[in-house]
Chain A
């Protein structure tokens, strides 16, 4: 006891104690700082989740009561008339999206293939252009669609809307396609060519199937993006209260319907609008999550 304390001061021991004390206090300080910072990160997560929950709860609460058989099978009806629905908007959205996809996907993927295989100056410029195109505001695409199609044919139409939506989807598909095709290991390409296959065969039988998960993900994401666009459709498809399958005529779409009907003074129209909002939200969510699940699954299968 006392003899240990009476021992002469050992400079090394003292130094060690000093270092340990400094380390301990530094660790305390750093741990506190770390806890604080991480606490802030948790708070950020909370801040991110709260509006989400608020919005989704609101849309579900206002939209779910609207969902009934009539909602999905009947077109919109004026205020006071029972049995109104959004079938005209569903049909319009589907037709416009399908046309946009049918045109944008082949062009986009082939362009992605081109970019994945080339590195010249033209390819670099094109890649940069596609990048810039992903950032073009949708309203500007809308006014372009109006000038290019509506003005020239003197009529609003589903085609004009599909043109605008396709324009928005195209750069997304190009970039996703290029990323997916570049991800195919070079060795697979070379092996196929060593077997004597032409480039087209290589593309068709090696590159595309291998890149398929990434491609599908990209396409689904592009579709999800196109579904939510309102501004370009406002300027190109005019809207239609009746069921219309013909894309050369004016059509209705879910985002337009939501925009027009949700602030109307009639409760039944407002409810239909929120039902449509819920429908759109669910579809986009299913596409987004589905694309990720599909990518994971296909990726696992490949491996």
Chain B
């Protein structure tokens, strides 16, 4: 437990990587044989740590969760991953069905506060103001990362077939309405040789409260600390020229229908839809194309994420794609019903570990959680208790 509190109280990358090294050392010391099952996920770099030894035992127990059905809702960022992962889980444990609906991070949090879902998913953890709306009688809230993904800048510019290069200041100008045409000097300067039209830019953004919006605006704020004035939030006061559509899938569809538009969508939506997306300049000055590899490179720069220190945008490193983020699963630490509680923790444990749901990440254009984060998750899930105080996650 003390490791957890240490992670929570220390902010800053140095403290987190020290802790990660400590975890890795502890894991190495305690395990006689590495029991992480073979996986086809992208290899995570050394700072990612190593998976705990008894992973397989936990995974096997996860598949023996009590029968029934669960409702969960939230982020559309994570929806393709969750739907596939829960479907696979139900295939292995036919008694339990997990029904996940992508309604947007904000709506997921609200449903969680109202108690109408067993757990929620959001690309930005609940802040203090959100936590205050959870009834006090429900007890403390646990938030764990469940997958890693990137936010691409997708665009639809007829006549432009080469990949556009964009940087922080330019993106900020486009999305706050100060840059209005495609052949604006800021854009042409970054893309010499590309014949950019003089048409007006239509920014495409989210109409609903969105964690994807948070990650993107967080990046804009981080890259433009003085010039980006609209803040980092799930809902932004976008300019009046912006077209707003609900859900990641809606924004993607709108971009494809609106010529000379540009918007932000989670990576798997852009790749699956075969959309054009931009190479974004990271903090090392390199224009990086979003991909699972580059997103992983960004995340590896900050392994020790916590619900209060969760932002991984704009991390250093030449290979890092700067607009990336974790998606978070949110659940109550004190589960009123031991059956539902056991179902929740076991499903989430299975979904967030290699050998379980994380194996699906790569094929869906997400990035699996680094092993250190997975270990951290399990530690958190082990603290979930039923009404009698007994831990619900078992081996």
Contact = CB atoms under 8 A, between A and B. Distances in A.
B95 to A, nearest CB: 12
A263 B249 contact: yes
B269 A265 contact: yes
Interface range for B: 20 to 34
Contacts of B102: 260
Contacts of A242: 69, 90, 97, 99
Interface in B98-125: 99-102, 114-116
B16 to A, nearest CB: 34
Contacts of A239: 99, 101
Interface stretch (A72-80, A206-214, A292-300): A72-80
A154 B249 contact: no
B173 interface: no
Contact of B116 (A154, A240, A241, A264): A154
Given A154-B114, A265-B269, A265-B272, A78 B83 contact: yes
Contacts of B69: 242, 249
B273 A265 contact: yes
A210 B97 CA distance: 50
A223 B102 CA distance: 29
A167 interface: no
Given A265-B249, A266-B272, A77 B87 contact: yes
Contacts of A200: none
Nearest to A265: B272
B250 A263 contact: yes
Nearest to B81: A78
Contacts of A156: 71, 116
Interface in A58-89: 77-81
A3 B273 CA distance: 92
Given A81-B87, A155-B116, A250 B71 contact: yes
Contacts of A80: 84, 363
Interface string A124-156: 000000000000000000000000001100111
B294 interface: no
B71 A263 contact: no
Contacts of A264: 249
| Interface size band for A | 20 to 34
B247 interface: yes
Contacts, number: 57
Interface in A40-55: none
Nearest to A264: B249
A26 to B, nearest CB: 53
Interface in B227-264: 247, 249-250, 252-253
Interface string B58-88: 0000000000010101000000100110010
Contact of B71 (A77, A238, A265, A266): A238
Contacts of B114: 151, 154
Nearest to B274: A265
Contact of B84 (A79, A151, A154, A265): A79
A242 B100 CA distance: 10
Interface in A248-294: 249-250, 260, 263-266
B268 interface: yes
A263 B252 contact: yes
Contacts of B115: 154
A239 B90 CA distance: 17
Nearest to A244: B69
B99 A240 contact: yes
Contact of B99 (A77, A155, A241): A241
A263 B272 contact: no
Nearest to B97: A242
A239 B72 CA distance: 10
A214 to B, nearest CB: 41
A269 B222 CA distance: 36
A150 B101 CA distance: 16
B120 to A, nearest CB: 13
B73 A238 contact: yes
Contacts of B100: 241
Contact of B83 (A150, A151, A240, A241): A241
B77 to A, nearest CB: 13
Contacts of A241: 83, 87, 97, 99-100
Contact of A238 (B101, B247, B252, B272): B101
A263 B80 CA distance: 13
A155 B340 CA distance: 14
A240 B71 CA distance: 8
Interface string A167-194: 0000000000000000000000000000
A240 B117 CA distance: 13
Nearest to A249: B69
Interface in A191-243: 238-242
Interface in B110-144: 114-116
Interface string B322-363: 000000000000000000000000000000000000000001
Nearest to B91: A81
Given A78-B83, A155-B116, A265 B99 contact: no
Among A81, A151, A264, residue most surrounded by chain B Cβ atoms (within 10 Å): A264
Interface string B268-292: 1100110000000000000000000
A77 B269 CA distance: 18
26 contacts: A77-B87, A78-B80, A79-B272, A80-B363, A81-B84, A81-B87, A150-B116, A151-B114, A154-B115, A154-B116, A238-B73, A238-B101, A241-B87, A241-B99, A242-B90, A242-B99, A250-B99, A260-B102, A263-B249, A263-B252, A263-B253, A264-B249, A265-B249, A265-B252, A265-B268, A266-B80
Interface of B: 69, 71, 73, 80, 83-84, 87, 90, 97, 99-102, 114-116, 247, 249-250, 252-253, 268-269, 272-273, 363
Given A81-B84, A242-B69, 17 more contacts: A79-B80, A79-B272, A238-B116, A239-B99, A240-B99, A241-B87, A241-B97, A241-B100, A242-B90, A242-B99, A260-B102, A265-B80, A265-B252, A265-B269, A265-B272, A265-B273, A266-B80
Q: Which 7 A-B pairs have the closest CB atoms?
A: A265-B272, A263-B253, A263-B249, A265-B273, A78-B83, A78-B84, A239-B101
